[in-house]
């Protein structure tokens, strides 16, 4: 694949039209003019003069250098030529062509490689004329620690490395926790940390209720625990055909030796295993490893439900809502979804879908190339697999209906906000600000965002107050937050990006807070934002809030007004976010130890000392010989540690 080395130019303005700039990867030209831009079909026709007859990816850019559209082609010249025949294009695509000021191409060896690169570009650049999957969440995994006598099972998020024994992905943390709970019942594996394991002398409650085998108190040997680990690993990997027979034999053997307590433990494990192995539409026996992907389209919107099936078990489901044009066909949306969804996730060998996918053989080839194994995309027509797809489709329909109902209710609330605050139209973006500190220490300001889609958590921002600010001066804190926020927003606006410009600013406070914020906005020249301050009523009663706005006397809303409830939720969400941000920042400064100031003690040696002695106090009270016996601590470092806690000794 000939990778484009000029991706950093995407945000730059195109060079003048009399300059032809070849791409460093070869074959790419970029034309345009800032003062008199060449737009539309003429640009495309000039690009066709040097367009190669090879597979690749093309990008259409406007005069600002913003990516409008990313596409792939088996023959680039043939595909791009189709954009010059305007009569055959839809209104939306004609509008895209009319805004095109330059193009960039990247050639690849195969069309499958082009498909993978296209999905990667779309997910990274988010061009507005493409179907977009806005799914930036990380998916959790179930991980078993290695290199330990008593491996631990735990939930994990992040990049999976080769030295991890892992299973997943799971749709949510809840799905992982459910699996861990069942693993505890069947295989009695520990979930406690290494430090707890090494410091505990008596078994915990999980051992008492038969959810752990008690390695912390030597209630199980290393070999027996390893056997439990093997069984769990085989079960999670789908190699569980003999497990039931093994457990039955173990129960009968314990009964023969009159060890009825051990037999009862194994009996409970058999029952829990049977519960996990129950086959149904949720846990299909005919699907060992695969994803069930069903799409439902209604009112110009789409929901795609993905069920993760691994080892014959359901690892949970996730609802996705791609952004697309209203006239997009379900199959085209599904095809775009598959490329973007698996851009950063392992691809299972089987994908069950409820719509025919265009170019499904090409997508199979591309996903197989990415995953390193054969991938099949199947639309089942009958049997259990069909039932599973229908079940996922029903979930997609219900999720979309809920979203549409919530959106309709949200629109009515925003219309009410516009009516009460005298706006010309319902606000598309409401920003709410709040501060949090304790007697002026660890001060933080936060911004939360609300709009037609509810709380937009990806737009939330945290501001660590830099000062200088007098401790406890909330006005000065808010002034700093607003100055930093709008200084950046003004720069973005000057560059043509107004997507983050608010319609309403809601401030938690009264007339004083309103005046402070109004002064900041006036100093910055921000005049097109409606500023509102919300203050609690008498005795800080919710429902009797006062609102402060320019040109109006302070006013209250009816106690049962739905718009009042909505504004209260916005304020309370900002307050919650401010408190959690402050606590997290404060915790970082509190997580310190007496060991941190000792030369030569880094995270690894600190952990070794705490694991051996249990606490910094234990290290302080340890003798020199005990310190020398600690893993990773040599004699010289042991003397340094001992001298740190006993300065009179080091002076001798």
Residue-wise pLDDT for 601-647, tens only, equals 887 787 778 777 777 777 888 888 888 888 888 888 888 888 888 87
Percent of the chain scoring above 90 in pLDDT? 29
**In this structure, what CATH number is given to the domain that contains residue 328?**
3.30.420.340
In a domain, 49, yes or no: yes
CB-CB neighbours of 227 under 10 Å? 15
Whether residues 451 and 338 fall in one domain: no
Q: How are beta strands 504-508 and 454-455 bridged, if at all?
A: unpaired
Under 8 Å between Cβ of 270 and 251: yes
> In the numeric block, which tokens belong to residue 624?
């020199």
CB-CB neighbours of 286 under 10 Å? 14
In a domain, 338, yes or no: yes
Band (439; pLDDT cuts 50, 70, 90): low
CA angle 614, 616, 618 (to 5 degrees): 55
Whether residues 581 and 502 fall in one domain: yes
**How far is it, in rounded angstroms, from Cα 402 to Cα 525?**
41
Under 8 Å between Cβ of 139 and 392: no
CA angle 325, 329, 335 (to 5 degrees): 95
Written as one string, the DSSP assignment of 125-157 is H--TTS-B----PPPPEEEE--SSSS--EEEE-
Reported as a single tens digit per residue, the pLDDT across 513-532 is: 898 888 888 888 888 899 99
In a domain, 462, yes or no: yes
pLDDT of 269 above 60: yes
Q: How many domains, in total, are found in the chain? A: 4
Residue 278: the pLDDT is: 54
In a domain, 423, yes or no: no
**In this structure, what CATH number is given to the domain that contains residue 13?**
3.40.1440.10
**How far is it, in rounded angstroms, from Cα 348 to Cα 603?**
38
Higher pLDDT, 642 or 107: 107
In a domain, 31, yes or no: yes
**In this structure, what CATH number is given to the domain that contains residue 641?**
1.10.150.20
Residues in CB range of 424: below 8 A, 6 or more apart: 418
Whether residues 328 and 461 fall in one domain: no
Whether residues 498 and 364 fall in one domain: no
Whether residues 584 and 437 fall in one domain: yes
* pTM metric for this prediction: 0.65
**Residues of the domain holding 115:** 7-125
Residue 538: the pLDDT is: 63
Under 8 Å between Cβ of 571 and 537: no
Last residue of a domain, one of 125, 140, 161: 125
**How far is it, in rounded angstroms, from Cα 145 to Cα 166?**
9
Question: CA-CA-CA-CA torsion for 575, 577, 581, 584, nearest 10 degrees?
Answer: 110
Reported as a single tens digit per residue, the pLDDT across 393-430 is: 999 999 898 888 888 888 899 999 999 999 999 999 99
Whether residues 609 and 556 fall in one domain: no
Mean of pLDDT values over 157-169: 77
**How far is it, in rounded angstroms, from Cα 126 to Cα 142?**
31
Under 8 Å between Cβ of 130 and 69: yes
Reported as a single tens digit per residue, the pLDDT across 549-595 is: 998 999 999 888 889 999 999 999 999 998 888 777 665 554 456 67
Mean of pLDDT values over 214-223: 87
Whether residues 300 and 445 fall in one domain: no
Whether residues 435 and 584 fall in one domain: yes
**How far is it, in rounded angstroms, from Cα 168 to Cα 577?**
31
Residues in CB range of 387: below 8 A, 6 or more apart: 281, 284
In a domain, 245, yes or no: no
Last residue of a domain, one of 565, 588, 611: 588
Whether residues 486 and 601 fall in one domain: no
Whether residues 473 and 492 fall in one domain: yes
Whether residues 580 and 617 fall in one domain: no
Residues in the chain: 652
**How far is it, in rounded angstroms, from Cα 55 to Cα 169?**
32
Residue 277: the pLDDT is: 57
Residues in CB range of 394: below 8 A, 6 or more apart: none
In a domain, 137, yes or no: no
Residue 22: the pLDDT is: 32
Written as one string, the DSSP assignment of 227-271 is HHHHHHHHHHTT--TTHHHHHHHHHHHHHHTT-HHHHHHHHHHHH
In a domain, 552, yes or no: yes
Q: How are beta strands 376-378 and 350-353 bridged, if at all?
A: parallel
DSSP H or E segment with residue 402:
helix 383-421
Mean of pLDDT values over 263-287: 68
Higher pLDDT, 470 or 484: 484
Last residue of a domain, one of 543, 567, 588: 588
Under 8 Å between Cβ of 51 and 75: no
Whether residues 449 and 535 fall in one domain: yes
């Amino acid at each position: 694949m000939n990778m484009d080395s000029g991706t950093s130019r995407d945000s730059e303005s195109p060079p003048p039209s009399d300059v032809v700039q070849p791409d460093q990867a070869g074959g790419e030209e970029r034309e345009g003019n800032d003062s008199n831009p060449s737009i539309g079909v003429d640009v495309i026709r000039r690009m066709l003069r040097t367009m190669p007859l090879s597979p690749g990816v093309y990008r259409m850019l406007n005069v600002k250098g913003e990516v409008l559209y990313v596409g792939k082609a088996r023959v680039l010249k043939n595909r791009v030529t189709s954009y010059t025949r305007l009569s055959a294009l839809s209104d939306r695509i004609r509008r895209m062509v009319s805004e095109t000021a330059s193009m960039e191409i990247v050639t690849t060896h195969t069309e499958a490689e082009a498909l993978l690169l296209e999905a990667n570009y779309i997910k990274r650049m988010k061009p507005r004329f493409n179907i977009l999957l806005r799914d930036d969440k990380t998916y959790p995994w179930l991980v078993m620690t290695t290199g330990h006598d008593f491996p631990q099972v735990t939930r994990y998020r992040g990049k999976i490395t080769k030295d991890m024994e892992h299973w997943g992905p799971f749709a949510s943390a809840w799905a992982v926790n459910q699996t861990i709970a069942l693993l505890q019942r069947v295989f009695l594996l520990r979930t406690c940390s290494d430090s707890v394991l090494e410091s505990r002398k008596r078994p915990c409650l999980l051992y008492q209720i038969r959810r752990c085998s008690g390695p912390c108190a030597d209630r199980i040997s290393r070999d027996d625990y390893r056997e439990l680990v093997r069984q769990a690993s085989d079960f999670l990997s789908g190699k569980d055909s003999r497990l039931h027979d093994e457990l039955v034999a173990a129960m009968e053997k314990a009964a023969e030796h009159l060890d009825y307590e051990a037999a009862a433990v194994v009996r409970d494990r058999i029952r829990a295993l049977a519960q996990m192995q129950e086959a149904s539409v949720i846990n299909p026996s005919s699907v060992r490893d695969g994803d069930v992907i069903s799409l439902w389209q209604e009112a110009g919107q789409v929901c795609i439900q993905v069920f993760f099936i691994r080892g014959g078990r359901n690892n949970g489901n996730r609802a996705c809502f791609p952004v697309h044009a209203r006239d997009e066909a379900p199959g085209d949306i599904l095809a775009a979804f598959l490329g973007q969804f698996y851009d950063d996730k392992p691809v299972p060998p089987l994908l069950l879908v409820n719509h025919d996918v265009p170019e499904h053989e090409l997508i199979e080839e591309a996903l197989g190339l990415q995953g390193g194994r054969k991938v099949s995309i199947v639309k089942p027509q009958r049997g259990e697999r069909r039932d599973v797809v229908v079940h996922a489709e029903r979930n997609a329909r219900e999720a979309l209906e809920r979203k549409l109902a919530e959106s309709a209710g949200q629109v009515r609330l925003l219309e009410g906000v516009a009516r009460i605050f005298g706006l010309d139209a319902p606000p598309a973006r409401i920003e709410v600000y709040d501060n949090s500190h304790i007697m002026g220490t660890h001060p933080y300001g936060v911004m939360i965002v609300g709009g037609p889609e509810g709380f937009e958590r990806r737009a939330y921002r945290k501001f660590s107050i830099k000062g200088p600010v007098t401790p406890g001066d909330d006005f000065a804190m808010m002034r700093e937050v607003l100055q930093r926020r709008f200084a950046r927003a003004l720069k973005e606006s000057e560059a043509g990006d107004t997507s983050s410009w608010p319609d309403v600013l809601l401030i938690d406070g009264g007339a004083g807070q309103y005046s402070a914020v109004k002064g900041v906005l006036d100093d910055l020249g921000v005049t097109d934002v409606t500023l509102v301050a919300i203050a609690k009523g008498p005795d800080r009663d919710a429902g009797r809030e006062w609102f402060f706005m320019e040109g109006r006397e302070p006013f209250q809303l009816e106690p049962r007004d739905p718009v009042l409830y909505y504004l209260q939720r916005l304020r309370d969400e900002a307050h919650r976010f401010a408190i959690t941000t402050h606590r997290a920042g404060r915790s970082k400064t509190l997580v310190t130890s007496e060991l941190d100031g000792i030369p030569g003690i880094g995270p690894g040696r600190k952990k070794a000392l705490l694991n051996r002695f249990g606490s910094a106090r234990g290290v302080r009270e340890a003798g020199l010989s005990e310190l020398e016996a600690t893993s990773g601590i040599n004699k010289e470092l042991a003397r340094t540690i001992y001298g740190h806690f006993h300065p009179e000794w080091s002076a001798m």
